[in-house]
Structure 1
Amino acid sequence: MKPVRTAADIPRPLRRTPLARLLEFHNCGRPLLTYGKAELLICMCMDNRKQLRLPDNFAYILRTGGGNIRFSEFKISYIVAIGGVRHIVLIGHDNCGMVNLASKRRAFVSGLVKNAGWTRKRALEHFLAYAPLFEIDDEIDFVLAEARRLNHKYPGVKVLPMFYRMSDKKLYLIKPV
């Protein structure tokens, strides 16, 4: 992974794009500008430990478990078609709760029983029906595969995978651009 500490660390093909500005705002402390229209779609995990430093109106943000957008494609299409967005970033992160969901089965079921008032049977059926759809094996492999898939699906849109490290709260480029 490539750290981006200054604007000079941003690869040339990304410079002067909303993807570069995301890195500059979040990692480099670039002053926040005023935007009248979103330039970027950020797809990232719903994890509450991750907050990005962004100006208002700069980006649409789609947050889902594990950053899994497989069931959000209509929303993405809407943002591209109606919002006019031509750049998408997929952000994975370390210590993601959607990795190895099977190991969280007992806690998940117990939590729904205790917090939502569900029966154990209903909670277990819910887990068994949905966990396989949302579980990811590896955060980096997942975000790379999703970026490849979306670049193929939306050839006129630049889709870039990034990684958020919890330890320093910075965004990283996963592979050379």
Structure 2
Amino acid sequence: MDRLIRVSTKEDIFPEYRETPIGKLVEYHNLRSSHDSYSKAQVLIGMCMDYRKNLRIPENFAYILRSGGGNLRYSEFKVSYCVALGGVKAIALLGHNNCGMVNLYSKKERFIKGLVENAGWNEKAAEEHFMNFAPMYELGNEIDFVISEAVRLKARYPKILVAPLFFNIEDNELYLIKK
């Protein structure tokens, strides 16, 4: 957590993000800046499907893709759509603390039991499902993952500003990440 930078004023925003959709996102969410009016999305936000996170942003400001851990590896066509047809010039990737995709293998038995009890799966099918997909979604560390995903997307979309950010579910604030 020592790599996280709290944003309490506009001056706390990294210079490379100021006056960009990334800076506006942080201003809207953390600083409660008044909402501008948008007719089209300015940014793509990739964030976790976790129900504990909700952003304070204006209508029409962002495309939002939610997936386990904010992992966009398997949503790349959607990312390309937002860039190619939506015209976004920035991508904000939001990792967060206490993510369920961290240390996923420790949840294997609960996952299998949950599919058996809640969805009516048989145990063998539930275990195969977990073993087939868990390697794709295991994050390791939230901060390291969001940084590596930002690097990957920046290489794939070199003209797009890509920013790794961190959502702290305890104070509901966005933090910048020192790389």
For Structure 1 versus Structure 2, the TM-score category normalised by the shorter chain is over 0.9
Equivalent residue, structure 2, for 1:61: 64
Cα distance in 2 between the residues matched to 1:8 and 1:147: 23
- Secondary structure of the equivalent of 1:33? coil
Selected match of 1:174 from 136, 154, 177: 177
Q: Which residue of 2 aligns with 1:133?
A: 136
CA deviation map 1:91-119 (0-9, x unaligned) = 10010000011110111011111111111
Q: Secondary structure at the match of 1:142?
A: helix
The counterpart of 1:25, out of the listed 28, 36, 51, is 28
Report the AA paired with residue 151 of structure 1. K
Question: Percent of aligned pairs with the same residue?
Answer: 55
Q: Number of paired residues?
A: 176
AA at the equivalent of 1:16? E
Deviations 1:105-155 (CA, angstroms, capped at 9, x unpaired): 111011111111111111111001101111110000000011111111100
Q: CA RMSD in A?
A: 0.9
Query: Unmatched 5+ residue regions in structure 1?
Result: none
Distance 1:54 1:5 in 2: 17
1:4 is the counterpart of 2:44:
no
Q: How far apart are residue 11 of structure 1 and its match?
A: 2.2
SS at match of 1:26: helix
Which of the residues 99, 102, 108 maps onto 1:99? 102
Of 81, 89, 92, the match for 2:92: 89
Partners of 2:16 and 2:149 in 1: how far apart?
21
Residue number among 71, 74, 77 corresponding to 1:74 in the alignment = 77
SS in 2 for 1:12: coil
Please name the residue that 2:122 is paired with. 119
| Structure 1 segments of 4+ aligned residues over 6 angstroms from their partners | none
Deviation at 1:167, TM superposition (A): 1.4
SS at match of 1:80: helix
What is the distance in 2 between the residues matched to 1:75 and 1:90?
A: 14
| C-alpha distance in 1 between matches for 2:87 and 2:58 | 18
Q: Distance in 2 between matches of 1:90 and 1:12?
A: 18
In 2: Cα distance, 1:77 partner to 1:12 partner: 26
Deviation track 1:17-41 (CA, whole Å, cap 9, x = no partner) reads 1101100000001012221100000
1:42 paired to 2:45: yes
SS at match of 2:16: helix
TM-score for both structures, normalised by structure 2? 0.96
> Under a length normalisation based on structure 1, what TM-score does the superposition of the two structures give?
0.97
